[in-house]
Amino acid sequence: MEQKLIPNESLIYERVNGVVYARYPNRPEIPRWIIGGDTEAVNKANGNLFSYSEWNEMMELAKNNPTLKTQIKKLLDIYYIIKDDKNLD
C-alpha cells in the first residue's frame, strides 16, 4: 500500500545505521517509514536475511568452495520441498 503524503505537514528525516527514514513531527501515531539509504542496510531494515549483492557474492564463492556449494544445494532442496508443500494447500 502506497502512503500518500499529508499536505502542508513537515517531515523529519533521520539516518540510522545507514537507513534514511521520514516521519511527521506532529503525528506520532504515524510510524516512520524507510525512504532510502545504503542498499545493504535497507535490506536488513526490511527484514531480509541478505541482499542481492550478498547472494551474488555467495554464488561466486560457491564456485570455488565445495562446502558452501554443498550447503547451498541443501538449502535449495529444502526450498523446493517447502515450496511444493505450500502449493498443495
Give per-residue pLDDT as tens, 29-45: 999 999 999 998 999 99
Same domain, 65 and 40: no
Same domain assignment for residues 12 and 40 = yes
pLDDT band at 51, cuts 50/70/90?
confident
Helix axis angle, 52-64 relative to 66-88, nearest 10°? 130
39 lies in the same domain as 65:
no
Residue type, 17: N
Q: What pLDDT score was predicted for residue 22?
A: 97
Answer yes or no: is 1 within a domain.
Answer: no
My answer on whether 54 and 23 are in the same domain is: no
| 84 in the same domain as 57 | yes
Where in the sequence is the domain holding 65, given as residue range(s)?
50-89
* Backbone φ/ψ region at 36: left (φ over 0), alpha (ψ -120 to 50), beta: left
- Asked, for residue 3, whether it belongs to a domain, the answer is no
Mean pLDDT, rounded, of the chain:
92
Check: pTM over 0.95? Answer yes or no: no
CB-based contact 45:34 (threshold 8 Å): yes
Closest CA to 11 of 27, 2, 24, 28: 24
Q: Please give the grid coordinates belonging to residue 41.
A: 542496510
